[in-house]
Chain A
Amino acid sequence: MDQIIIKKLTMQYDSYPVVCDVSFTIKQGEYVCIIGENGAGKSTMLKGILGLKPIKSGAISINMPKDKKAIGYMPQQTDIQRDFPASVYEVVLSGCLCNKKFISFYNKTDKQRALDSLDKLGIMNLRHKSYRNLSGGQQQRVLLARALASNPGLLALDEPLTGLDPAASLEFYSMLRKINKEQGITILMTSHDIHSAMSQSDKILHLSHKLEFFGTPEEYLKNDISKKFVR
């Protein structure tokens, strides 16, 4: 199933074009890394696709599987969050809000799903800890657990590896891979880390305001555009 279909997407910041005429299609269950230099429009495009930023023109259509309607978004951390008094369990449970229309209380299924995703990411022992007292890597895991608790059909991650040491990034990547393979959840993430992106993902999307390349890592290596970027 084609899950994300982008047609001629253009986005602007003030009158300055940030994303220009980008078209691509992502299938359900694919693991796609958006790479490109700083300021190439990666995060902006991701936010545009998720409806968090207005688009100038073009069409975005997202088809979600029936049983997994939510989009689990893992944003870049804000200053507000770093010092936020909340327990890990409270944060992860809030992921379940994504499936609620009118009733805003958590039921048994929600609580179980929150516990499951804590378990899956190996942070069950942190659940009573305060979010603000965790290390950067632990906080990232908590945010991923929250995204998983929403029972997502699509995980959208914005630079999830910022501030992680190499060992923690590697671990994070293998967790993502596992989630992608075992649960068939589509993953769309922006990343600086070209080498891990090449080894982990199904598709590479190279953005430099325009779409420079979209295809498998193998094809990307053969393409001229990668020569400047992959070293």
Chain B
Amino acid sequence: MSFSEIFQYDFIVRALIVGSLVSLCAALLGVTLVLKRFSMIGDGLSHVGFGALSISMALGFAPLILSTPIVILAAFLLLHINNNSKIKGDSAIAIIASVSLAAGVIVTSVTSGISVDVFSYMFGSVLAISDSDLIITVILSIVVLILYLIFYNPLFGVTFDENFSKAGGVNVSLYKMLIAFLTAVTVVIGMRIMGTMLISSLIIFPALSSMRIFSSFRSVVISSAAISLICFLAGLYLSFIWNLPAGASVVMVNFAVFCIMWVTGKITRRTA
């Protein structure tokens, strides 16, 4: 099947729009999250996303309308836990993640029976995106992209050196909340297509790949956006022609690119 034939399908066009926007948002934020050692927050949020998604489906809400505020609240909570060094941040995030997951599974099995639904929540589905999802996703991802671009410089400053920024009078906690907020929104809009278990890899992989080779912040950000977009399109195409789950295919393509970049990075650094 050729690439143009794919566009005849409505659901594929929707998946393309949503997936591309999510890939961009995830890649941009991923750079900050990986460098700031916040990867765990992204991972924790995706589990919370599963619980939120299950509950909102069980209650009959449009999935994104209820999940968005829940995941945003959870993001602030996880950030707070991460900031507070007296609690073991990692374990606290793990607890919240597994409890959300368990709650989601119970709610789903009680209401609709565990099977197809849970599978699609966890691992995503290109068929799952409704028209209302599409509209919300487009709006939210544009908000994420604009906020990221407007606050690109202070986000860099806070990521590189929180204490310097704080001593210099920058409102660090506000920007950390912005990071948490943007991450939450990205997880929410990405989880229907990528699946709640796989969305965090969309955040982490492109950043890690581009850091193997690129060495300025701006080039890492731009290249990881490009890598993310290309990997998504390739993954979606492969999933369609080979009839594979889309989210998982995108992750595998990302992994392949990571391996290539890793090896390339090793070689270029040795010769440099």
Bound CA span A15–B266, Å: 48
Contacts of A23-73 to chain B: CB distance below 8 A: 47, 50-52, 69-73
Contact A146 B164 (CB under 8 A): yes
**Closest approach, in angstroms, between the C-beta of A142 and any C-beta of chain B?**
11
Bound CA span A145–B156, Å: 17
Complex interface: chain B residues within 8 A of A98 (CB)? 165, 168-170
Bound CA span A27–B168, Å: 20
**Closest approach, in angstroms, between the C-beta of A46 and any C-beta of chain B?**
10
Where chain A touches its partner, the secondary structure class is mixed
Complex interface: chain B residues within 8 A of A52 (CB)? 163, 166-167
Q: Is B157 an interface residue (CB 8 A)?
A: yes
Contact A97 B214 (CB under 8 A): no
Q: Is B119 an interface residue (CB 8 A)?
A: no
Contacts of A123-156 to chain B: CB distance below 8 A: 130, 132-133, 143, 146-147, 150, 156
Count of chain B residues near A, Cβ 8 A: 28
Q: Is B153 an interface residue (CB 8 A)?
A: yes
Q: Is A16 an interface residue (CB 8 A)?
A: no
The segment from B7-15, B101-109, B216-224 found at the interface with A is: B216-224
Interface Cβ pair total, 8 Å cutoff? 92
Bound CA span A57–B35, Å: 35
Q: Is A106 an interface residue (CB 8 A)?
A: yes
Q: Is A84 an interface residue (CB 8 A)?
A: yes
Bound CA span A86–B35, Å: 11
The segment from A87-95, A162-170, A199-207, A216-224 found at the interface with B is: A87-95
Contact B153 A73 (CB under 8 A): no
Point out the residue from B37, B153, B170, B220 that lies within 8 Å of A85, measured CB to CB: B220
Q: Is A80 an interface residue (CB 8 A)?
A: yes
**Closest approach, in angstroms, between the C-beta of A53 and any C-beta of chain B?**
10
Bound CA span A51–B164, Å: 11
**Closest approach, in angstroms, between the C-beta of B185 and any C-beta of chain A?**
20
Complex interface: chain A residues within 8 A of B220 (CB)? 85
Bound CA span A100–B169, Å: 9
| Most chain B CB neighbours (cut-off 10 Å) among A86, A91, A132, A143 | A86
Known: A71-B167, A75-B163; 4 extra A-B contacts, CB below 8 A, are A47-B163, A73-B164, A97-B153, A98-B170
- Interface, chain B (partner A; CB < 8 A): 35-37, 150-154, 156-157, 160-161, 163-170, 211, 214-220
Pairs A–B under 8 Å by Cβ, sample size 6 = A71-B168, A71-B169, A75-B164, A87-B217, A90-B218, A94-B160
